[in-house]
């Protein structure tokens, strides 16, 4: 043994040493690295690091085979080990084909249907839909109890796609009235479009008329005239109450037709409405022959 700047021992030294050894065969007290015991006497493997296995680590991994805890994306489980597919129902959307809305729909633009049958309203026993067959556009109805079925034989409303003319093939009830020109025949009408004359009197059907102008003398085989007529007995009348009659008889007196003749066309010494009554009014005739009384005859007016 020599001691100088250092201690050299040719054999082995047994015992506890104080200080630091430059090298050592192993660590006196084994330590754990990643949960694996290590005393320096042999290499170790760390599962999940340099050997296959599970290893709990902290921090962020650049890549991973899957998530430790699977997550859900719109209700679909996802752990990263495989791709998933989200359906329209997963994201609350309608499918491209089919689908049912549970609420209202508002569109800021056109709603386009490329089929002949477009918008349908199915409520109660009947269905209603709009159909465009290329030539005409129809308002169509279904049979009762078949609101989602095909149309029935009724064609209540038809629009010509070419002319825009509208055909109503069923009964039309218009409580508010219809304004415009109509072709065809109406079963009833308030008045005639073009007024006609009946015996020279204008008539459009909006009011009653007399077939003869007011004041025309008419023969009647009874002592009781029809309603609205009077027997001509030379009576006066109120010209303000009967202005049309006053036009015919401006004097306000109806001629007495019981024995008079009304001049209608002027003759020499006579004027319109002058009366020839002298020879035909009530008077008495008497006659005799060779002083023989033949009797007396009285005429009445």
CB neighbour class for 138 (10 Å; exposed up to 12, middle 13-18, buried from 19): buried
pLDDT digit string (tens) for 36-45? 888 888 888 8
Q: Looking at residues 21-36, what average pLDDT do you find?
A: 83
pLDDT band, residue 280 (cuts 50/70/90)? low
- Name the phi and psi angles at 208, rounded to 5: -70, 150
pLDDT digit string (tens) for 86-143? 888 888 888 888 778 888 889 999 989 999 999 999 999 999 999 999 999 999 999 9
By residue count, the chain amounts to 301
Query: Does the structure show a pLDDT above 70 at 25?
Result: yes
More confident site: 238 or 261? 238
Domains of the chain in start order, with CATH, are: 117-167 (no CATH), 208-278 (3.90.1340.10)
Mean pLDDT of all residues belonging to the chain? 82
pLDDT digit string (tens) for 289-298? 666 666 666 6
**Under 8 Å between Cβ of 236 and 252:** yes
Three-class DSSP category at 251? coil
pLDDT digit string (tens) for 127-156? 999 999 999 999 999 999 999 999 999 999
pLDDT band, residue 275 (cuts 50/70/90)? low
pLDDT digit string (tens) for 151-200? 999 999 999 999 999 999 999 888 887 887 777 787 788 888 899 988 77
Rounded to whole angstroms, the Cα distance separating 231 from 224 reads 8
Model confidence, pTM? 0.42
- pLDDT of res. 72: 93
- Give Cβ neighbours of residue 87 (< 8 Å, ≥ 6 apart): 95
- pLDDT of res. 299: 58
Query: Does the structure show a pLDDT above 60 at 210?
Result: yes
Query: Does the structure show a pLDDT above 70 at 256?
Result: yes
């Amino acid at each position: 043994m020599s001691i100088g700047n250092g201690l050299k021992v040719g054999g082995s030294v047994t015992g506890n040493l104080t200080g630091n050894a430059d090298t050592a065969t192993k660590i006196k007290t084994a330590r754990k690295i990643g949960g694996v015991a290590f005393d320096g006497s042999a290499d170790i493997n760390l599962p999940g690091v340099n050997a296959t296995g599970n290893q709990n680590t902290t921090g962020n991994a650049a890549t991973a085979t899957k998530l430790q805890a699977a997550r859900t994306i719109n209700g679909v489980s996802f752990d990263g080990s495989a791709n998933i597919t989200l359906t329209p129902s997963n994201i609350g959307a309608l499918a491209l084909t089919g689908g049912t809305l549970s609420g209202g729909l508002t569109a800021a633009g056109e709603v386009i249907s490329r089929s002949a049958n477009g918008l349908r309203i199915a409520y109660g026993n009947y269905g209603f839909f709009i159909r465009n067959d290329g030539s005409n556009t129809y308002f169509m109805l279904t049979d009762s109890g078949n609101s989602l079925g095909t149309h029935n034989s009724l064609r209540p409303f038809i629009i010509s796609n070419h002319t825009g003319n509208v055909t109503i093939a069923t009964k039309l009830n218009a409580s508010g009235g219809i304004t415009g020109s109509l072709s065809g025949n109406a079963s009833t009408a308030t008045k005639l479009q073009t007024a006609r004359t009946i015996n020279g009197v204008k008539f459009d059907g909006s009011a009653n008329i007399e077939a003869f102008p007011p004041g025309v003398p008419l023969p009647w085989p009874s002592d009781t005239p029809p309603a609205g007529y009077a027997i001509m007995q030379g009576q006066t009348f109120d010209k303000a109450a009967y202005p049309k009659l006053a036009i015919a008889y401006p004097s306000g007196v109806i001629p007495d037709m019981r024995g008079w003749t009304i001049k209608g066309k002027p003759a020499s010494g006579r004027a319109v409405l002058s009366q020839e009554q002298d020879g035909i009014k009530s008077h008495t005739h008497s006659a005799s022959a060779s002083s023989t009384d033949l009797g007396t005859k009285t005429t009445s007016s």
